[in-house]
Amino acid sequence: MNFLNKVKGTWLQIVPWVIWLGIMLGGRYYRHYVAGWQVWLLLGAFFILSLVTFIGFLTPITEEACCGSRQPGVKPSWAEILVHVIPLFIFLALGPTSISGSEAGVGSPFKPAVLDQRSAKLSPYDLSADKTPPITDQAKGKQNRWVPLTLLDMYSDLEAKGIADREVEVEGKVHVLSKKDKTELLKTMGLTGVQMTLYRFVLVCCAADSRPMAVVLEGVLPKHFVNDGWYRVRGTSSKITKKTLVKSPTLSISAKEIVPIPEPPGPYLSLW
Amino acid sequence: MSVSPLANPSPRLNTSFLSALISILIAFIFGPPAVSRLLGLTFPASPWRDTFAAFFLSITLEALPFILLGTLLTALMEVFLSQDILPRLTARLGVWGIPASAIFSPLFPICDCAVVMVVRGLLRKRLPLPHAVTYMLAAPILNPAVFLSTWLAFQDYRYAVFRTLGGLAVSITMGLILTRVDPRKALRPEFLATLQPDGPLVPLPVTISEAATVPCGDCDHEHHHTGSNLVIGIASHLSKDFLEMMPFFLMGVFMASLFKTLLGAKMLTQLGTDPLIGPLVMMAAAFVLSICSEADAFTAAGFSEFNFISHQAFLVLGPMLDIKLVLMYRSIFRGWFVVLLSLGICLSVGAYVVLLGIW
């Protein structure tokens, strides 16, 4: 009876949180939702909740019923129990998801203005992609024709080293612009003739604060193209020379190859 | 006038109703794909649903450690902090206690999600309502991490400095206004029931208690937390507070995710960027986007089409008021008080940015 009381009480309410956090950490699914550095916070939360669950299971029910606004002896309703299953339920229902460009309005994202604020020389940011040693042109020729870069690398390299007119390999989502998108692009950036973009979301803390970053894409789309699907693009990068409304430079890639790829384990680029 | 918990015939109605409502809404949106997945059928993909889920889970996942941290702080306060310390301190400081609550808030540097939990604990420890609200509004802005992230995002110290000044000014103003509000009428009956019957503004008789042997403020009897009992006491307080807050938090996250998916920041910014409408648009954006105070400066910096004043409106209002926070405030305060508080915050932030503009 005591066990049943526990099962319909605090214990059953906290356990879904522990399971959800466990799945997020164990499967490394947290990368679909938050920045990598938050893993330590999530581990701490998992530890605390696990400890509370363990203690709650061992504690006599009389002790448990004492504190809190719930009166002693009054058990939570089923709705109050179900509400704690919601994050786990959503995750199990859909699996890991990421923000869709069409829904987030990827019409004229290009370089988030936050990157305009910094100079590459004085950058306080630790760009995740910059942690990999740079591939020199000589080394590049030996191992691969294409320089693998992220969109963040491209824009930061543009300021620091001049990324224009290099052969690059970039992964991201390809978005074919609608008529509305084109109008928006003309209005906000003064760009015309753009048919599609290669974009990716850049986050600081979590997906909710992410902003899209893009380059203009030129090339031939593969068969069975899926709008906002994941693709690896190989081509020559260049700086758009025509005068745009925004001061920040805009990049484009003239694609030689657009190949569909599975969604990367970490769909976002992290600013930190 | 003392409001007895018995005045509300069903003290759990709100939490229960809220939990049922959000559970039904979530089942309506995610039930069909869940059933399809269970049966091994293919359900047509919906970018809208995927984006909504990504927003919902990311905000929840990001905030969870901070909410737990706030809850842990509250639980530690419950167990270790004597009931008479805060009332005695505030009585000694008088009205100066209100600015002191704001100025010393960096001593407990926490973000906007965690601060609501901490304020619950502070109110239980008899911190007067104006002081508690002042702390609640100031702490997420005066947090050193928030100062640093604002500086980094804009690469300009003025943004961080004026944000801090705005946080101080608005929180102190709200605290002073609230000295005229009866806390017993402002607090939810369910939460009031967790306080001692004479309420948070009435000084308690001074009792000397050992650090780890204090009466539990939530109970109508006394028990003592020592040894293993101490750990059980902390775990019990932590789990109860956490579970009480989460329905409000999840409802707030649900609404914020819905607005973010349907409207998005872009649609809001299209309303206008000129110096007159800009601050209003940015305040609306801060309310709808519900971004953590430690990351919102980067989002604000992304809105480069807005001017300094509009950015300040976003940066000062965001950590004090957003969709998620309104719902979280409801776990402590009555509906009318949350409306009043929201209006007060909006007007104070508006006045602050107007003054900045004139200056």
> What one-character-per-residue DSSP string does B149-199 give?
HHHHHHT-HHHHHHHHHHHHHHHHHHHHHHTTS-HHHHB-HHHHTTS-TT-
Of B309, B307, B305, residue with least CA distance to A246: B305
Q: Higher model confidence: residue B31 or residue B200?
A: B31
Least CB–CB distance from B22: residue in A86, A103, A112: A86
**A52–B241: do the CB atoms touch at under 8 Å?**
no
Query: Percent of chain B scored above 70 by pLDDT?
Result: 84
pLDDT over threshold 70, residue B63: yes
Give the mean pLDDT of chain A.
74
Give the mean pLDDT of chain B.
80
Query: Percent of chain B scored above 90 by pLDDT?
Result: 22
pLDDT over threshold 60, residue A216: yes
Q: ipTM more than 0.85?
A: no
Closest residue of chain A to B299, computed from CA coordinates: A209
For residues A64 and A85, the answer to whether their CB atoms sit within 8 Å is: no
pLDDT over threshold 70, residue B201: no
For residues B266 and B299, the answer to whether their CB atoms sit within 8 Å is: no
Token pair listed for A109: 């994202």
pLDDT over threshold 70, residue B17: yes
Q: How do A251-260 and A229-239 pair as beta strands?
A: antiparallel
- Rounded Cα distance between A158 and B185, Å, is 59
Give the confidence band of A142 by pLDDT, cuts at 50, 70, 90.
low
Of B314, B290, B292, residue with least CA distance to B302: B314
Q: Torsion angle of alpha carbons B99, B100, B105, B107, nearest 10°?
A: 160
Query: Percent of chain A scored above 70 by pLDDT?
Result: 67
Closest residue of chain A to B242, computed from CA coordinates: A14
Model pLDDT, residue B339: 94
- Rounded Cα distance between A218 and A256, Å, is 9
Q: Torsion angle of alpha carbons A188, A193, A196, A202, nearest 10°?
A: -30
Closest residue of chain A to B64, computed from CA coordinates: A45
Q: What average pLDDT score do residues B140-162 get?
A: 86
Model pLDDT, residue B210: 34
**B54–A207: do the CB atoms touch at under 8 Å?**
yes
pLDDT over threshold 70, residue B5: no
**A41–B260: do the CB atoms touch at under 8 Å?**
no
pLDDT over threshold 50, residue B179: yes
**In Å, how far is B190's CA from the nearest CA of chain A?**
6
Give the confidence band of A113 by pLDDT, cuts at 50, 70, 90.
low
